[in-house]
Amino acid sequence: MNYKLLTPGPLTTTSTVKKVMMQDHCTWDDEYKTITQEIRQELLDLAEVSAIDYTTILMQGSGSFGVESVLSSMLRPNDHILVCVNGAYGHRMVDMCERHQVTHTVYEVPETKALKAKDIQRILESDTSITALAMVHSETTSGILNDLEAISAVAAQQGVLFIVDAMSSFGGIPINVGELKIDFLVSSANKCIQGVPGFSFVLAKRHELLKRKHLAKTISLDLYDQYVTMEKDGKWRFTSPTHTVLAFRQALEELRLEGGITQRFLRYSTNNCLLRRKMSELGYEPLLDKHQGPFISSFLYPKNQDFDFKSFYNHLKINGFVIYPGKISDVDCFRIGNIGEVYPEDIHRLSEVIGKYGEVAHVS
Ligand SMILES: *Cc1c(COP(=O)(O)O)cnc(C)c1O
């Protein structure tokens, strides 16, 4: 069945992105290596940084592989990292630190609240053994957009290594990685750049990366080794997801044609505002009252009827849309993403479909 994915990655891609995957590409061919190098440079351009200060490393696997690659191969034995948590992806970073026995402290706020720069500053000031800070920019668990600017200022002022999971935000909102002094930013192919799943990428401050060789706890997630091989001529260390790479190049080209990140951000924001307005008209209450990001929104199960997510989901699916269940631990909600090949007309059509569900539920 064909449907639009209103899930924040994998998401609905264009037919042109899908079409370029019809070619099987050789991995050691010069042309292919050039594509990898162009992608690496294009990502630096999107991050508004120069190839002197920063480099891009592509890493096989989903987004978590990129995050784990940084956490397991870029921290020294005497590093101590403060991990900020307000959702599942922050928790995942904590799990990674535990698994790799990285010394860490957790700063956690409820899933419906944003991280507070002031709290983080207080923790860093009171514990000077902390040398690094990790945060999630857009917490896909709830849809919250954490205050990257304010927190980055604290990281810079305290002089700690700054690691950002910008998985569901990079490419969909302007992020000046250099100005924000981010040392490692992680994102993946199948989120706001609108490619298909298969690899993650790390934008790394070059001199920090170069200082952190031979620290890896695994072979395949060794970010430094991956960099050394890729930096030579664009060859990936191990088999690369060739079809995904071709799709990603096309997706980058389409991002350019759309008018770059500013225009994409505008489209996502327009989608998101329209979605939340329409949902409110239909009587669905948003989970968040503040800090709502432009990528994904959580809505509470309606109180006044016997809401059954499964039947709601199926009703949407047979009418051409797929959404996500909620991911908040203690509140019943569902999530609707508005990134990917999604436009206001899709949101209008979606709200008609959701409106019909209300009628159906009412009648039965
Ligand atoms: C998608 C996502 C990830 C990575 O998840 P994978 O399933 O490994 O791709 C990490 N952090 C955030 C905030 C995400 O949205």
CA of 138 from ligand 1 middle (Å) equals 10
| CB of 89 shorter than 6 A to ligand 1 | yes
For residue 155, how many other CB atoms are within 10 A of its CB?
A: 26
CA of 257 from ligand 1 middle (Å) equals 26
Asked whether 49 and 178 are in contact (CB, 8 A), the reply is yes
Output the pLDDT for position 364: 44
Q: To 10 degrees, what angle do helices 148-158 and 117-126 make? A: 20
**288-321: pLDDT as tens digits:** 989 999 999 999 999 876 789 999 999 999 999 9
Q: Are domains 15-257 and 260-359 of this chain identical in fold? A: no
| CB of 167 shorter than 6 A to ligand 1 | yes
**50-73: pLDDT as tens digits:** 999 999 999 999 999 999 999 999
| In the block, residue with structure tokens 């059509």 | 349
| CB of 63 shorter than 6 A to ligand 1 | yes
In what helix (H) or strand (E) does residue 134 lie, and over which residues does it extend?
Answer: strand 132-136
CA of 191 from ligand 1 middle (Å) equals 9
**122-168: pLDDT as tens digits:** 999 999 999 999 999 999 999 999 999 999 999 999 999 999 999 99
0.75 exceeded by the pTM?
A: yes
- Of the two residues 360 and 65, the one the predictor is more confident about is 65
| CB of 64 shorter than 6 A to ligand 1 | yes
Q: Which of 96, 142, 144, 167 to mutate to test the pocket of ligand 1 (most atoms within 8 A of CB)?
A: 167
What is the distance between the alpha carbons of residues 27 and 58, in angstroms, rounded to a whole number? 14
Q: Is 322 exposed, middle or buried (0-12, 13-18, 19+ CB in 10 A)?
A: middle
The residue nearest atom 12 of ligand 1, judged by CA position, is 167
Looking at ligand 1, which atom is closest to the CA of residue 65? Answer: 8
Output the pLDDT for position 338: 98
Q: Is there a binding annotation on residue 40? A: no
Which residues have C-beta within 8 Å of that of residue 331, sequence separation ≥ 6? 112, 287, 300
Looking at ligand 1, which atom is closest to the CA of residue 168? Answer: 15
**What are phi and psi for residue 147, nearest 5 degrees?**
-80, 85
Average pLDDT over residues 167-186: 98
CA of 192 from ligand 1 middle (Å) equals 12
- Of the two residues 14 and 359, the one the predictor is more confident about is 14
Closest CA to 184 of 57, 9, 93: 57
Closest CA to 82 of 125, 137, 143: 125
CA of 201 from ligand 1 middle (Å) equals 12
| Statement: 260-359 belongs to CATH 3.90.1150.10 | yes
- The whole-chain average pLDDT of the chain stands at 96
CA of 165 from ligand 1 middle (Å) equals 8
Q: Where are the domains of the chain?
A: 15-257, 260-359
In what helix (H) or strand (E) does residue 184 lie, and over which residues does it extend?
Answer: strand 184-188
Looking at ligand 1, which atom is closest to the CA of residue 87? Answer: 13
Closest CA to 325 of 340, 337, 341, 343: 337
Q: Is 228 exposed, middle or buried (0-12, 13-18, 19+ CB in 10 A)?
A: middle
Which residues have C-beta within 8 Å of that of residue 95, sequence separation ≥ 6? none
Average pLDDT over residues 336-364: 87
Please name the fold of domain 15-257.
Aspartate Aminotransferase; domain 2 (3.40.640)
How many residues make up the chain in this entry?
364
**262-284: pLDDT as tens digits:** 999 999 999 999 999 999 999 99
| CB of 136 shorter than 6 A to ligand 1 | yes
Output the pLDDT for position 360: 59
CA of 67 from ligand 1 middle (Å) equals 9
Task: Answer whether residue 328 shows pLDDT above 90.
Answer: no
Asked whether 161 and 79 are in contact (CB, 8 A), the reply is yes
297 forms beta bridges with: 336
Asked whether 20 and 347 are in contact (CB, 8 A), the reply is no
Share of the chain above pLDDT 90, in %: 94
What is the distance between the alpha carbons of residues 82 and 107, in angstroms, rounded to a whole number? 7
